[in-house]
Amino acid sequence: MSFSRERAVWLGRNVFPHEAALRQWLSARTASAGLEVDDVVQETYAILASIERVDHIRNARTYMFEVAKSVVLQSLRRARIVTIDVQANAQFLEIPEDAPTPERVAADRQELSQVSAAIAALPDRCREVFTMRKIQGLSQRQVAEALGIAESTVEKHMVKALAILTNAIGRGGNVRNASSSVREQRDDSETSDRSRPRERA
């Protein structure tokens, strides 16, 4: 799969800012069904990355929720771990009403300061490398030379910085809490994994 830079930008601007809300919405609904939020979120991104056009999507947040919902329903149906009653229940998977989507979500001051806080909370070397690469715009080689470390080490720090930031914002705003909820979620899913009825062979 490859998708365009434009699509990545579109996803970054219109979808990623709502990931935390989507996770929150999903976590209440998927746990009982034995689904993993991470999987649904990934699948949602994969679909949004692979659909041919996005220019017809007026409200990306709602669209993202719709896609996630179809992923959940599809999974439930495929796994046969849920009865028709559950699917028919209108409350289940009711997509929340959305306040008008802010066109420039990242411009929201509060959100910017969240991002700042997340960057500030990075481990020092990660923050240093991230700042030099993204904010000062230095190349990987320039950063390596400036810090006297290998380019591959620069890459490692950068990768880690992006992964941490992605989880901090994507999993729900508050940086410290975000990462502990990652942990909890993982633990939960381990449990639900075990308790889930196995697929019939």
CB of 188 to another protein, least distance (A): 12
17 touches 106 (CB < 8 A): yes
Query: 31 vs 73, which CB is nearer to another protein?
Result: 73
Query: 28 vs 136, which CB is nearer to another protein?
Result: 136
> Does residue 188 belong to the site contacting another protein (CB under 8 A)?
no
> Does residue 191 belong to the site contacting another protein (CB under 8 A)?
no
Place of tokens 């009825």: 197
Neighbouring CB atoms inside 10 A of 72's CB total: 24
Looking at residue 63, its amino acid is: Y
CB of 178 to another protein, least distance (A): 8
78 touches 39 (CB < 8 A): no
Query: 31 vs 128, which CB is nearer to another protein?
Result: 128
Binding-site member from 22, 26, 60, 169 for another protein (CB under 8 A): 169
Neighbouring CB atoms inside 10 A of 52's CB total: 4
Number of residues lying near another protein (CB under 8 A): 103
70-109 binders of another protein (CB under 8 A)? 70-71, 73-75, 77-80, 87, 90, 95, 106-107
Query: 28 vs 41, which CB is nearer to another protein?
Result: 41
CA distance 158 to 92: 40
> Does residue 150 belong to the site contacting another protein (CB under 8 A)?
no
Binding-site member from 25, 27, 44, 60 for another protein (CB under 8 A): 44
43 touches 71 (CB < 8 A): yes
Mask 121-140, x = binds another protein (CB under 8 A)? xxxxxxxx--x--xx----x
- Which residue, 185, 126, 133, is CA-closest to 161? 126
> Does residue 26 belong to the site contacting another protein (CB under 8 A)?
no
126 touches 159 (CB < 8 A): no
Q: Work out the end-to-end distance of the chain between its first and last CA atoms, rounded to an integer number of angstroms.
A: 31
